[in-house]
Amino acid sequence: MALWNLDYWRNLREALLNPRLDSAKLDEALRAARNKQSLPVLWLIGKAQAGKTSIIRTLTGSKTAEIGNGFQPCTRTARFYDFPAEAPVVRFLDTQGLGEVAYDPTKDIHYCEAQAHLVLAVVKATDIRQDAVFTVLHQVRKRHAEWPVLIAQTGLHEAYPADADHLQPYPYHQQPLSPQVPGDLSRALTAQRERLGILPGSAPVLWVAVDLTLPEDGWNPVNYGLEALWAAISAASTLGLQALLQGDPGVRDAYARAAHPHIVGYALIAGGIGAMPLVDLVGVPVVQAKLLHSLATLYGQSWDRRTVTEFLGLLGTGIGIGYVARLLGREAIKLIPGWGQTVGAMWGATASSVTTYALGQSAAYYFVRLKQGGPADPAALRRIYAEALTTGADLLKTPPGESQP
């Protein structure tokens, strides 16, 4: 067994140095793992130019160009966007063409409502013609009276008086609206809420006003109302989207925020592979290697033999050997008929996802130190790994797509 452990440790090191996806068995495992994933699906309903792309950009931190290139068709006029693309943690559905002449959204609506976990309607505050959006929401709630609906009112600045700026503190959660809100904007927002808020069913209709702009647009803050949007999403669902996409809201480092959903995505894939007997002996180390390569690219760092050796050395072989021992123990359990295929599979999935998450978080710290030009502290690296085992277990314990509206 000791020799087998050493052989496996060498294989893990080799996967980190040269990850490959050319094995037919590994390809099958990765496809099966992705197919098993039940992603949380956010269904965006709104007319063209309502601000749906801005919401996706803001929630994910992804650039507009990346979003435009990332959409894939799922019906003739509906499309989806998975984020991050290579290891997704969330799927956005978009029904195109609402309000356009000769567009019948019936098929798109039936497809999307069969997939969705949360309905988010997006309406521009200054656009009074929202009959198409109202019709879709009315049909959905007629069939699903228990589904909460979240409606985002966008483009607030288009109704500001000349030389006005965003109101601080944020006043749009008040009902009726605060007297501080400019008259034209207040009337527009109120008219939409009175019109679209009358839906069948007893589930709540939640409203949030946002102004999501780009830095070059000149508005400060650029993501006005984002905290209110996250609060409304949390109130309307139990998907934990903010934790999946942002991690700790207190983290201000742009690289750490960008790395977090990638780490979670690969951890979820590793968990899917870890539930399959014997496959994770091959697949999980390669998934972890791909994650670390992805993080190195994100931080602008090389991931060569020297950095791999340094990272593993700083992390400590004790952690690695302990991981291998747990991995081998899981494989033995999963081969026990009945009990092994249930409890053992759950154990394998959890351990694979959590250790992948911990490796990713510790690697992110390591790459930050490299980028800053300073050495990584071995004690800090191991502490981050240990803490991430705990936080990862809490974050990943419930498959995100299981929550329904």
Q: What is the pLDDT of residues 36-84, one digit of tens each?
A: 667 899 999 999 889 999 999 999 988 765 666 677 777 777 888 889 8
CA distance 334 to 96: 46
Our count of domains for the chain comes to: 2
Half-sphere exposure of 325 (CA within 13 A, CB side): 7
Note whether 29 and 46 are same-domain residues: no
Note whether 200 and 330 are same-domain residues: no
Cβ-based neighbours of 251, under 8 Å, separated by 6 or more: 257, 260
CA distance 341 to 288: 24
- Residue 74 corresponds to which tokens in the numbers above? 């799922």
Q: Work out the number of other CB atoms within 10 angstroms of the CB of residue 13.
A: 17
121: helix, coil or strand?
Answer: strand
User: Which ranges constitute the DSSP H helices of 197-303?
Assistant: 226-236, 241-246, 254-274, 280-298
Reply yes or no on whether the pLDDT at 222 is more than 90: yes
332 domain residue, yes or no: yes
Q: Which residue has the higher pLDDT, 237 or 340?
A: 237
pLDDT at 161: 94
Note whether 189 and 261 are same-domain residues: no
Q: Which residue has the higher pLDDT, 352 or 51?
A: 51
pLDDT at 110: 83
pLDDT at 61: 86
310 pLDDT band (50/70/90 cuts)? confident
pLDDT at 394: 80
243 domain residue, yes or no: no
Note whether 350 and 258 are same-domain residues: yes
Note whether 131 and 160 are same-domain residues: yes
Q: Pairing state of beta strands 78-83 and 90-95?
A: antiparallel
Angle at the Cα of 331 from the Cα atoms of 328 and 335, rounded to 5 degrees: 145
Q: What does the pLDDT look like over 151-202, one tens digit per residue?
A: 999 999 999 999 899 999 999 988 889 999 999 999 999 999 998 878 999 8
404 pLDDT band (50/70/90 cuts)? very low
**Are 124 and 51 spatial neighbours (Cβ–Cβ below 8 Å)?**
yes
**Are 143 and 201 spatial neighbours (Cβ–Cβ below 8 Å)?**
no
Reply yes or no on whether the pLDDT at 364 is more than 90: yes
Note whether 51 and 13 are same-domain residues: no
Cβ-based neighbours of 210, under 8 Å, separated by 6 or more: 51, 55, 152, 153, 154, 156, 223, 224, 225, 226, 228, 229
CA distance 164 to 18: 56
Note whether 60 and 208 are same-domain residues: yes
CA distance 115 to 405: 11
Note whether 32 and 45 are same-domain residues: no
E strands along 210-331, which residues? 211-212, 223-224
Identity at 387, one-letter amino acid code: E
- CATH of residue 112's domain is 3.40.50.300
7 domain residue, yes or no: yes
Mean pLDDT across 272-294: 66
CA distance 318 to 181: 60
Q: How far is CA 141 from CA 24, 79, 122, 369, in A?
A: 45, 22, 16, 51
Note whether 221 and 258 are same-domain residues: no
Cβ-based neighbours of 65, under 8 Å, separated by 6 or more: none
User: Can you give the length of the chain in residues?
Assistant: 405
**Are 155 and 54 spatial neighbours (Cβ–Cβ below 8 Å)?**
no
> 350 lies in which domain range?
2-36+248-402
pLDDT at 193: 92
Reply yes or no on whether the pLDDT at 97 is more than 90: no
Note whether 232 and 259 are same-domain residues: no
Note whether 288 and 346 are same-domain residues: yes
Q: What does the pLDDT look like over 16-32, one tens digit per residue?
A: 666 554 445 555 655 66
Q: Which residue has the higher pLDDT, 140 or 317?
A: 140
Average pLDDT, the chain: 79
pLDDT at 14: 67
Identity at 276, one-letter amino acid code: M
Note whether 25 and 79 are same-domain residues: no
Q: What does the pLDDT look like over 4-15, one tens digit per residue?
A: 344 545 655 666
CA distance 119 to 199: 13
**Omega of the bond leading into 171 within 30 degrees of 0 (cis):** no
182, 215, 238 - which closes a domain: 238
